[in-house]
Structures are given as C-alpha cells and as structure tokens.
Amino acid sequence: MNPPAVRNTLDLIGNTPLVLLKGPSEAAGCEIWGKCEFANPGASVKDRAALWIVRDAEARGTLLPGGTIVEGTAGNTGIGLALVANALGYKTIIVMPETQSREKMDTLRALGAELVLVPAAPFSNPGHFVHTSRRLAEETEGAVWANQFDNIANRKAHIESTAPEIWAQMDGRIDGFTCAAGTGGTIAGVGLGLKAFDENIAIALTDPYGAALYNYYAHGELKAEGNSVAEGIGQSRITANLDGAPIDTQFRISDEEGLEWVRRLLAEEGLCLGLSSGINVAGAIALGRQLGQGARIATILCDTGFRYLSSLYNAEWLRAKGLPVFPWLA
Ligand code: PMP
C-alpha cells in the first residue's frame, strides 16, 4: 500500500498514517490508535489549519497574489504557515514572544518567515503577541491576519480532513476520540466530524494543568489550576474554534504522566514525540479504561520530538523544571 503520488506539495498535508500503540493499548485494556500528525511536511498537526486558513482567505478574496500572512504564534502554526506561504508565493510575518526557544526562532527564520519578537505579556496587555500580530496585519499593505484561535477555518480543516481520515482508517469502528486543546481546532473539528458519522462516538477533552478547560467542561467554570511545560496546548478561554465543541467527558493529565508516555513511546515503540502527544496518549488510556474492553480509541500524535531537543530531550532542562530525566540522557 503506497501512499498516493501527488502533483502538488500542498497535497502532502494530511492523509497521515494511523498506528496502533502497543504499550498504551496494553495499559488501557483496549485499542489505542495514534494519528501520526508529525508526518505532515511541517512535522505537526498545524499544517492542516495553516492550509485551510490560507485557502479560506484566498476564497474570501482577502489574500491576493504576492500578499502577506501575519500570525502570532510561538511555533507549529508559524511553521505550517511559512511552508504553505512559500508554496503559494506569499510572505509570512510571525510575531512571537521573545521568551520562546532559540530552536523555534531558528526554524522560522530558516523557512523564510520574517520574525517580530515582542516582550512576553498577559493576553489582557495590548502588547501581547496575538494583539501585536493583528495590529501588524492591519498596518501592512496586502496582509491578512491568520487569527488561528478565532478563525474557524482552523477547525474546518479537521472536520473536512482529519475526522474523515480517522473514520476511514478505523473502518468506521471507533468508540472514542480525545486530544488536548491549544486553539481547540483539533478537538472541536475532529469531534464534530466524527459525530457526523456516528453521534455515539465519545469525544473527550484531555487538558494539561494550567489550562481552564477541564473545569469549564466538568463544572461550567473557566478556572486554571497548577501549571504545565507542554507547548502548544493549554487554553484559558472558549475560542471561536471551541465554541460548540461536542465534549462528552474530560480528563486532566500531569506533565509527569505525559512525559512517561513520551519516554515509553520512544524507548519501546520508536516514536519520538512532543509532550502534547504524551498527554494525549495518557488521556486516551483514561478514556479507554472508562469505555472498557474492546473499545477502539483514537488520539493525535501532534508533533515530532525533534522540535524539543533542547527541552524535553535535554537532561539539564528537565532537571531545572523538576521533571524526571530519561535514563539514557542522565
Ligand atoms: N500540540 C502541539 C504541539 C501544538 O502546537 C498544538 C497547536 N497549538 C496543539 C497540540 C493543539 O492543537 P489545536 O490548536 O488544534 O488545539
């Protein structure tokens, strides 16, 4: 079974493989499947949102030939947007907080994006990177603001591509799906897409500590507790993408638990992943245990671990964060 030959590099986005995760399946007593989003050209799930956001702006007539895409993001969305923009002849301006890792800045520069660094600030501060990117888009001629948090072209990517792919890859036999939320595009889009095939599929939010969504879906209150070093996930408000997400149940997963699955998936199954993938897998096990033996669960393996060599895969960094160091790094 070869993947299809495609004539356009943008057609390499999506159609990612789905893999049965052995350790997690054993731990849950049912089948846990991982959607390999690290296999996208930009090595993360955000390539899909980037492509849909750009195509949507073209269709609306707001993004014209030679135009510029502006976004506030620290990582994967910027990388996806830069690649899509290059393929379609657009420029990219990425606004990010100066506290982000050197690796991410280097990657975005390497791809040809123009980087604008701003001091880290709370969302309520007009200098926050998201607000700065909106203003920059307004001030730049021929520019559009990608606005991944509240632009629902983001979740549409998952309604139209990720969900039908998972449904087909699992032969329509799927009992539950879970993942964490950054913008919420993946959980809401896959959730809505799968429910359209079968409304009995359980959709669970897996939240890291430091995010407010677990308490929102469990108790109706946006309240954060604790914290997390996971990048790309952890939301404190109901974004437009999350609005109306069909969440049936919710789990909260610690960094330690997520990291243990990152370690085991690498050491035992040869998958090098980021922390949000480990947290998703831990959530999928929790959902599997709830649904019982014979259940078939899918989750998202969001991005490659190669993006975190100086953090998750670095003994000094892990020690400084008070997290366990992988034995082969100690
Ligand atoms: N994991 C990683 C590593 C990410 O970069 C993101 C995107 N912010 C997510 C998970 C969550 O995806 P979404 O924005 O669709 O909620």
Probe residue for ligand 1, chosen from 40, 46, 77 as the CB with the greatest number of ligand atoms within 8 Å:
46
Alpha-carbon distances, residue 27 vs 30, 169, 247, 274 (angstroms): 8, 22, 24, 20
Amino acid at 187: I
Handedness of CA 112, 113, 116, 121 (dihedral sign): negative
Look at strands 18-20 and 31-36 and give their pairing: antiparallel
Nearest atom of ligand 1 to the alpha carbon of 183:
14
Span from the CA of 302 to the centroid of ligand 1 (angstroms):
7
- Which residue has its alpha carbon closest to ligand 1 atom 4? 232
ipTM above 0.95, yes or no: yes
Written as tens digits, the pLDDT of the chain (330 aa) is 788 899 999 999 999 999 999 999 999 999 999 999 999 999 999 999 999 999 999 999 999 999 999 999 878 999 999 999 999 999 999 999 887 778 888 999 999 999 999 998 888 899 999 999 999 999 999 999 999 999 999 999 999 999 999 999 999 999 999 999 999 999 999 999 999 999 999 999 999 999 999 999 999 999 999 999 999 999 999 999 999 999 999 999 999 999 999 999 999 999 999 999 999 999 999 999 999 999 999 999 999 999 999 999 999 999 999 999 999 999
Model pTM score: 0.97
Catalytic residue at 35?
A: no
**Domains detected in the chain:** 9-39+162-321 (3.40.50.1100), 45-145 (3.40.50.1100)
For the chain, state the CA radius of gyration: 19
Are the C-beta atoms of residues 298 and 170 closer than 8 Å to each other? yes
- Beta carbon of 182 within 6 Å of any ligand 1 atom: yes
- Which residue has its alpha carbon closest to ligand 1 atom 6? 232
Q: Which residues contact 324 (CB under 8 A, 6 or more apart)?
A: 256, 259, 260, 318
DSSP symbol at 10: G
Probe residue for ligand 1, chosen from 45, 207, 273 as the CB with the greatest number of ligand atoms within 8 Å:
45
Span from the CA of 181 to the centroid of ligand 1 (angstroms):
6
- Pinpoint the alpha helices (H) of the chain: 22-28, 46-60, 76-88, 102-110, 129-139, 153-157, 163-169, 185-197, 213-219, 255-269, 275-291, 315-320
